[in-house]
Structures are given as C-alpha cells and as structure tokens.
Amino acid sequence: MHNDIHGRGKAKHGRQTFRKFIKSIRKYWFAILIAVLLSVGSALLGIFIPKILGDMTNAAIETYPEIDMDIILGKTWLIVGLFVTSAALNYGQAFILAVVSAKYTASLRERIIDKINKLPISYFDTHKYGDVLSRMTNDIDILVTSLSQEIADISLSVTILLGIIIIMLTISVPLSLVSFIVVPLSVLVVGKITVYAQKFFLERQTILGSLNARVEEDYAGQNVIKINSYEDTALAEFGAINNKLTKITLKSQFLSSISMPVTHIFTNLGYVAVCIMGGMLVINGQMTIGSIQAFVQYVSRFNRPITEIASTVSTIQALLASAERIFEFLEELEEAPDPEPAVELESVKGAVEFHDVCFSYDKKRPIIRDFSVKVEPGMKVAIVGPTGAGKTTIINLLMRFYEPDSGYITIDGVPTREMKRADVRKLFGMVLQDTWLFSGTVAENLRYGKQDATMDEIVKAAKLSNVNHIIEALPKAYKSEISEDSDNISAGEKQLVTIARAMVANPPMMILDEATSNVDTRTEQLIQDSFETLTKKRTSFVIAHRLSTIRNSDLILVMKDGKIVERGNHEDLLKANGFYAELYNSQFAEN
C-alpha cells in the first residue's frame, strides 16, 4: 500500500501544506478578515476593564471618606457596556467562522468526491478506501474544527497579549520588564516541544486511516472470518493497530498538553516576582494601589494568551498533519485527459477489434501479450481460461479502466483512445459477478443506468429478465427498499435485478461476468435465460466460469498466460481436443 504507516512521522512539507491551506480558503478571506476584526475588537474592549477597575479604586481612595458615587457608577456602567459590546462582537465572529467552516467543509468534500471520480482504477487497486474515508471524515473534521476555533483563538490571544503589553508598559516599565523576561524562555522551551510533537500528529492520522480500513474490511468480511474461524487472529491484528494508535495518541496528547504547564511554570514565576516588587513600589509611594491592582490583574491575564498561543501552536500541528493528508489525496495523479476533439459514434453497430494489445499492471510482469481478435456486430464472445489468465484484464482494457502498453482497441473502426472514456463506457452494459445494489427502492436501482426511464420500461425489463414476479411479491413491489445488504431477496434474485438494470439502460453492447455460483438450479436457469434475452442482437463479451453456460457462443477465446491459445466455437474446440477440451472435460467430470 502506498499509505504505509511506517516512516511517515514528521510532515514532509509543512510550509508548503500551510501555503496550500491558505490558498484553499482564499474565497473566504474577506469573511475571515471580518471575523478577525470582530475578534480583535472584542479583545480590545475587554483589555481596558482592569485599567478602569484600577481607576475606580484610585478614585475611591482619593475621595475617601466621602466617596464620589457618580464617578464609581459612571465607570461601572462603562464596564457593563464594554462587557456587552465585547460579547456581541465575539458572538458575531463565532457565527461568521461557523458559516465559513460549514461551507469550507462542503467544498472540501465535494473536491474529494470529484477527485474520486477522476482517479484511475489503478488507484483503487493499490489503496484501501477506508483510508480515503478517514481523510474525508476525520481529517476534514480536524481541519475545519481548527479553522473555526484557532483563527478566532489566535487573533484573540495575539490582540490581548499585545494590548496587555502596551497597557502594562504605560503603568510601570520596571514591573513590565520583570513580567516579560520569562516570555522568551517559555517560548523557547514550548517551541522545542512543538517541533518534537509535530511528527506524532501526522503518524496518528495515518494509523487512524489504517484502522478505519481494517474495520471496514472486518465488517464486510464477517462471513469469511467466521467460516475460517479467523476471529481470534482478526481481533489480534486489529488490536495491534489499535494499540499502536493508542500509544501514538498518548504521545501526541502528552506533548500537546505539556505546553500549558510549562508555560504556567515560567509565567507564575514572573507573577511572584511582580507581586514582591510591586508591593515595594507601593510602600515607597512610587505606585498607587489602584495601579498595582490593575497591573496584577494584567499579569494574571498575561498568562492566558501566552498559554493559548502555545496550545494553538500544538493544535496547528494536527491541522497541518490533516491538511497534508487531504491535499496529498487531492494531488494524486488523475486519469489522462480525454482527447480534444474526441470522436463520437453516431450509430453503434458493435464491431470490436483488438490490435496486438499488450498490457502489464506493474510494467515488469506482462499480463496480456499480443492479444488480437476481431468481433463482428451482434456476436457473443466468451472468454475462458484459468485464474490469472487475463480474462478480467481484457474487459478492463475494453472499458478503458486501463490503457494498453502497446496496441489499441477499436469500436466500429474508431480507436477507443480517440473517444471520451465516458462515451466508451456508455456503449456497454455490465453485469458483474459481484452484485452491487445501493440503498433505495427497487425502481431507483433499476433506473440507475437510465435516470429518465419510465415505469413501463422498468416493468418490461423486469419481465424480460424473469425478476418481475419476484419484485411483485415484495411488500411494496417496485417501491420496496433494497440494498446490497438486504436480506429480503436472495443473491440470485439480486443478480436478476442487476440484469434488469442493464436492460433498462439498453446499451448497444454487453459485458457479462457470469454469476451463477451459489444459486439453486431454478434460479441459475432463470439467470441463463435472462442472459440470453439480454445479449440477443447485441455484441456481448462473457467471462465464463462454468463452461457449460457458453456452449452457444459464436466465438470462444481460450486464454492462458495472457495469450489466446485457442479460438472457435464449442464444437470445434472440443474436436480439437486441446486446452479447452481439457478444461471442459475436467468441469464435466467434477459435475
């Protein structure tokens, strides 16, 4: 797998990832700027409150014993106004960032879905989609949560810190210097911790993707796990990944949380020094009680923005780790663009020809070698051979899921590489060995290949594929809910539904991966009859597993080691007494 969990500790391109993240939120810059300004305004209003409280104390002391309540009440109302206005501004920035986060989340997920549709099949052959799912859910959640929280927190903390520094300097420069001397030491230590912690955040997200993939595999393969009594081993393998995730999570959380205590140690030392020195200044008459009161409040507040900035820096590491995984996926190589201009077939006859096609998945071990065959319109072509002979690869090349290393394929004389992939794929209907039905009604599943199909067309296709009586027996007939995991219809009946779905789409050519195993004899005969109806007058390619089902094929291609070793109809191949006859007779003997 490309997403190996080993050797991927530290983010490879932290600065580049940050630039990509900033670029990705470019369309929201104005809204974010407004939110930041509101956050700054809220912070600034709150900063003046300790100063006003100090002034109230000085005013009370200066006018004692006849305290001027008008001054006290005036400043009290001023403080209340500052509190209310600050809260309103803070709510405004939170609302704006919540809207931005929601829209950014939607746009990211749309980009990922669009990316999935543009990736070549080879990507899905080499990546676990549990990891892709993790990027689309966990990583995006972390990224967007950080976006909504950290932008506000960092702007608020920086504003408060700068504002407090300025006011502290206006109150007392000596006390301010004592308070500030601990900051460089704190920043230096926290910075070292942050750099060390960074590698664990990316590794945690990578392992989490592997864990999701493992859960998905175990869930989907429960039957196989139970049949093979693999439960203990599966649990142990899951436990190994889960334990690794637990350890890396503990490390990342420990290093993330240690920043605050370290910052507190330094800032509290400065706080003690300020209290001692401030008391001496008041005794010597160099400062008023109100001023030292305000200054002490600012010192206590001085700790918080430093601590939050340190915490934010740690959180940003998680943000960058998640962002790197998301952008890494979005930058995966896509399918080569379709030719411009592309050739369009106005009317399809169904003539297909392979011209000396060669192909290999890893470019080292050839799978298809010098494959050439000419298929006339309306022919039924069966492709047979042992496992690994290249049968499915031929279909993948025909559908342009992969491109030949050399040679080419034509449809009605037009090379498929000169056509759009979507146009090539629209020419074929596919009935696969593994049925795939999505959550929805029977009618919605049957209409999947032709969204504007009428109910009359759907019912007609269902009758032709021998599945109408099965559907009518369901509680709500064509409005019954169905899915891949539905237990209200059998595996064979699901296969009949997929055949009916292909009939509704009514493509000019068909590809059939026979799926008559594990069904009863009656259902198998229904599927065979449906195949015959589906392929009538259509060019069709059948990957044959049971050779008894393709005896009436116009052409049988016998493959071995990526080459056609025999070709002809059923009778001629049996008379030749070659590899096909050997395969056929071995199956007959087994039966």
Can you list the pairs that 279-284 forms with residues at least 24 positions away whose Cβ atoms lie under 8 Å?
281/172, 281/174, 281/175
State the pairing for strand pair 539-543/509-513. Answer: parallel
Confidence of residue 424 (pLDDT cuts 50, 70, 90): confident
Which letter, b or e, does each residue of 187-201 get, where b requires 16 or more Cβ atoms within 10 Å of its Cβ?
bebbeebbeebbbbb
Distance of alpha carbon 559 from its chain centroid, rounded? 39
Q: What is the reported pLDDT for 6?
A: 34
Digit-coded pLDDT (tens) for 207-266: 887 787 777 777 767 767 776 677 788 788 888 888 888 888 888 778 777 767 777 777
**Per the structure block, which two tokens stand in for 22?**
């900033």
Contact criterion met (CB below 8 Å) for 445 and 500: no
Confidence of residue 2 (pLDDT cuts 50, 70, 90): very low
**For residue 569, what are the contacts with CB-CB under 8 A and spacing of at least 6?**
553, 554, 555, 556
| CATH C-level class of 348-427+543-591 | alpha beta
Digit-coded pLDDT (tens) for 16-69: 777 888 787 788 888 888 888 888 888 778 777 777 777 777 666 666 666 667
The ranges assigned to domains in the chain are: 14-330, 348-427+543-591
Confidence of residue 589 (pLDDT cuts 50, 70, 90): low
Confidence of residue 91 (pLDDT cuts 50, 70, 90): confident
Contact criterion met (CB below 8 Å) for 112 and 136: yes
- The span from the CA of 286 to the CA of 250, in Å, is 50
Taking all residues of the chain, what is their mean pLDDT, rounded to a whole number? 78
% residues pLDDT > 90 (the chain): 0
Q: Which fold has domain 14-330?
A: ABC transporter transmembrane region fold (1.20.1560)
Q: What is the reported pLDDT for 7?
A: 33
Q: What is the mean pLDDT of residues 558-568?
A: 83
- The span from the CA of 253 to the CA of 200, in Å, is 9
Quick check: 505 pLDDT over 50? yes
> What 3-state DSSP class applies to 559?
strand
Q: Residue 434, Cβ neighbours under 10 Å: how many?
A: 11
**For residue 208, what are the contacts with CB-CB under 8 A and spacing of at least 6?**
134, 138, 245
Contact criterion met (CB below 8 Å) for 196 and 189: no
Digit-coded pLDDT (tens) for 176-197: 887 777 766 776 777 677 777 7
Report which of 564, 271, 546 is spatially closest to residue 555, judged by C-alpha positions: 564
Quick check: 488 pLDDT over 80? no
Helix axes 289-330, 173-180, angle to 10 degrees: 40
Q: What is the DSSP string of 457-514?
A: HHHHHHHHTT-HHHHHTSTTGGG-EE-TT-SSS-HHHHHHHHHHHHHHH--SEEEEE-
State the pairing for strand pair 539-543/380-384. Answer: parallel
- The span from the CA of 490 to the CA of 221, in Å, is 18
Q: What is the reported pLDDT for 61?
A: 67
Helix axes 289-330, 14-24, angle to 10 degrees: 90
Quick check: 517 pLDDT over 60? no
Q: What is the mean pLDDT of residues 140-159?
A: 74
Q: What is the mean pLDDT of residues 88-107?
A: 85
Report which of 50, 58, 53, 48 is spatially closest to residue 282, judged by C-alpha positions: 58
Kindly list the distances between the CA atom of residue 13 and the CA atoms of 202, 360, 473, in Å, as whole numbers in the listed order: 11, 33, 59
